[in-house]
């Protein structure tokens, strides 16, 4: 039982790292490539795609940021 819990935690951690590693952080437009604009766009995407238990919201937030021009 304890081994099973450990495996589940390890898988969750690994999936979290993979999901976060693909998050866009730079914008090709120098006027928009700053932390303030990034936070505004990220907040907008987070409000558009609230958290869900299955984690699909992460992929949708990444797509939202890419549509806004972040790479």
Q: How do the pLDDT tens digits run along the chain, 71 residues long?
A: 656 666 666 666 555 555 556 889 999 999 999 999 999 999 999 999 999 999 899 999 999 999 999 99
SS3 30: coil
Residue 12: both structure tokens together? 């969750």
What's the pTM value of the predicted model, to 2 decimals? 0.69
> Could you tell me the residue ranges of all domains in the chain?
24-71
What's the DSSP call for residue 23? Answer: -
Transcribe 5-46 into DSSP letters: HHHHHHHHHHHHHHHHHT-----SSTTT-SHHHHHHHHHHHH
Residue 49: both structure tokens together? 């795609």
């Amino acid at each position: 039982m304890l081994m099973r819990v450990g495996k589940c935690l390890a898988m969750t951690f690994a999936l979290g790292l993979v999901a976060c590693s693909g998050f866009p952080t730079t914008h090709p437009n120098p006027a928009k490539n700053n932390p303030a604009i990034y936070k505004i766009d990220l907040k907008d995407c987070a409000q558009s795609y609230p958290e869900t238990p299955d984690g699909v919201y992460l992929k949708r937030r990444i797509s939202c940021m890419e549509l806004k021009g972040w790479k």
